[in-house]
Amino acid sequence: MTGTPTAGAGRALRTLGPFEVPAVGLGCMNLSHAYGVPPTPEEAEQLLLTALEEGVTLFDTAALYGSGANEKLLGRVLADYRDRIVLASKCGLTSVGGRRVIDGHPKTIRRSADEALTRLRTDVLDLYYLHRVDRQVPIEESVGAMAELVVAGKVRAIGLSEASAGTLRRAHVVHPIAALQNEYSLWSRNPEERTLAATRELGVALVAFSPLARGFLTSAPPDLPSLPEGDIRRGMPRFNTPHYPANLALWRELRQIAEDAGLTLAQLALAWAVSRGSHVIAIPGTRSVTHLRENLSAADLDVPGETLDAAGRVLNAATVHGARYSEALLADIDTEPCGSAG
């Protein structure tokens, strides 16, 4: 996209189903899941309460994260502030005996919703996503069950995650879809194949997870040898040889663009993400209060379109090296494929 308007315009609110939220929310996964040893309960609580103080209203979790531990964390810390936040969780993807299990059957969705309500200490979920599309269950059946949760007053709005434009359109016929949560960043451009346009057309929010490319688009990109066992990036091609050295060369170019504009790389990456459309909402995650504030500041910055375009030319689907997931994980994802340089 060229000729992009400047990012920023203060903390202008964006539409998320029946809600209005700032352009940058908080993804809570890494407080319990996927990135090695999680922070202590006290550290996680401080991060969540600081986010609340700094104006975050959208908090995103899932049943998968820590096998329910993340939902319990948010329930414990945020229950007293329930009327101030938009609480989003996900069903249809869990861990059973250490294995990821995708299950979009209606009975599973209904049971998962009740379990989420208990863990989150709330009577209603503001936004409930189908975390992964179950290829064994027609999307109409899964979304139909989620629609029943809306009728029952257990859920206010529903969404999909890692879904294609075609699946979104089929689901939207069954019940209005408030949000599509897909990975979207400078190096993960899959939404630009079809879903960015489809969400805009249908009035669906595109919620961008991993907008900082799992820590790559920051001032200190991951050092693979130092990553703890169990960190999901160890199994991602883009963080491994031969791809990572080539991606780090692109990182150095991006860092220079950010420095020339008086920005941190994280600020540039988030400003780029939320500039892709007025319906795009980014949910970066972090364990650091300092990085939290850095991320949230991106919504207030006026970044020239030429700076955003320059970043997009350096890192995109044609220049990134390696796939975003392993072949096994890619087989479980419904999104449109997107190419890479190697």
Q: Could you list the active site residues?
A: 65
Pairing state of beta strands 13-16 and 19-22?
antiparallel
Residues across the chain? 342
User: Do residues 4 and 295 touch, judged by C-beta distance below 8 A?
Assistant: no
What number of other Cβ atoms are within 10 A of residue 267's Cβ? 25
CA angle (331 as vertex; 329, 335 as ends), nearest 5: 95
Q: How far apart are CA 327 and CA 166, in angstroms?
A: 22
Q: What is the SS3 assignment for 87? A: strand
Indicate the Cα dihedral angle 53, 57, 62, 67, nearest 10°. Answer: 20
User: Do residues 162 and 183 touch, judged by C-beta distance below 8 A?
Assistant: yes
Measure Cα distances from 329 to 17, 217, 232, 333 in Å. 29, 22, 11, 7
Q: How far apart are CA 9 and CA 16, in angstroms?
A: 18
Tokens of 10: 């203060």
Q: How far apart are CA 340 and CA 246, in angstroms?
A: 12
User: Do residues 27 and 58 touch, judged by C-beta distance below 8 A?
Assistant: no
